[in-house]
Amino acid sequence: MDIRLEDITKSFGEKKVVDGLSLEIGSGSFTTLLGPSGCGKTTLLRMIAGLETPDSGRITLGGRCVYSSDEGITIPPEKRGLGFVFQDFALWPHMKVKENVAFGLRAQKKLSGLDRKVKEALHAVQLDEYAERYPAELSGGQQQRVSFARAIVTEPECILFDEPLSALDAMLREEMRSELKALVDERGITSVFVTHDQSEAMSLSDMIAVMSSGRIEQYGSPEEIYSHPASTFAARFVGSSDWIDDQSMFRPEDASLKRHSDDDLMFTAIVTGSEYLGSSYRLLMKHGNEKWVIETDKRIGTGTSVPVYIHKDSIVRIGKR
């Protein structure tokens, strides 16, 4: 299912949270809406789902218009053919796991083969043995797996994820990332994922829409956004950036204290501190009025002036900040 958003706007009172936004999401892709709190990413996801109504614009799912302000079309959520995974799991506490998973099938009156479909969904998320338990008897990771199973059991063409891993601890979050990605990739499901965590976005996504103040700053692959940020906001929000001046930056891993090529450019920086990371040191530095952070294999004393070498092709020129 491809998704097309055209000139979408949404305000709450006098605050405009989505501002004339347009976006095309390819069928079968995993696309992340990435940005800080309040940038409009969750509101945009909820408008795709039909849980919020835009003030204006047009939304098309798989070639079918589900919202148009000009044509007066508003298709309700249950008729959009989407799955939704919430941040807080949203499981019914009084229902056993198998009934939570079956809920969507019953709501859509898809009763044929219901038990088989529920068992297959639970098997897909490795919860075969937990069908008779209640949500309160499960760990946070297991509850999130139940919400994944509930989303895939209706065989939707698209699943929307609203920060589904944010309630989990760091180690479990990393484990669930790979499971989630494998789950949707195996089924070819179009996925739209909301997060403020850049590492989640980079590891999961085919495409990332970096959002700020209700608009898209940049839309591209993780590699493109990291290596060729289109704006200062994208450069600062995705990965670490060291700025040479108002127009030029580089990624810390592209800097070295040794010259490796005739095309390396040399800059002088003052060490202001260092942090031991185990396999390396993180040097805190100052170049003019700019603060830099790079990694090296040795500790260097505070106050030391050192040459920093950066290949000319590793310097990204963006524009005024």
Range(s) for CATH 3.40.50.300 in the chain? 3-227
* Average pLDDT over every residue of 113-140: 92
Structure tokens at 69: 């302000």
Q: Is the pLDDT of residue 102 over 70?
A: yes
CATH 2.40.50.140 assigned to domain 242-317? The reply is yes
Between CA 88 and CA 135 the distance in angstroms is: 12
Average pLDDT, the chain: 92
* Average pLDDT over every residue of 131-152: 91
Between CA 156 and CA 79 the distance in angstroms is: 11
Q: Is the pLDDT of residue 320 over 60?
A: no
Range(s) for CATH 2.40.50.140 in the chain? 242-317
- Identify residue 274 by its one-letter amino acid code: S
Q: Is the pLDDT of residue 198 over 60?
A: yes
CATH architecture group of domain 3-227: 3-Layer(aba) Sandwich (3.40)
Comparing 90-94, 189-193, 272-276, 284-288, the range with the smallest average pLDDT is 90-94
Per-residue model confidence (pLDDT) at position 321: 45
Between CA 194 and CA 204 the distance in angstroms is: 11
* Average pLDDT over every residue of 211-226: 96
Binned at pLDDT 50, 70 and 90, residue 312 comes out as: very high
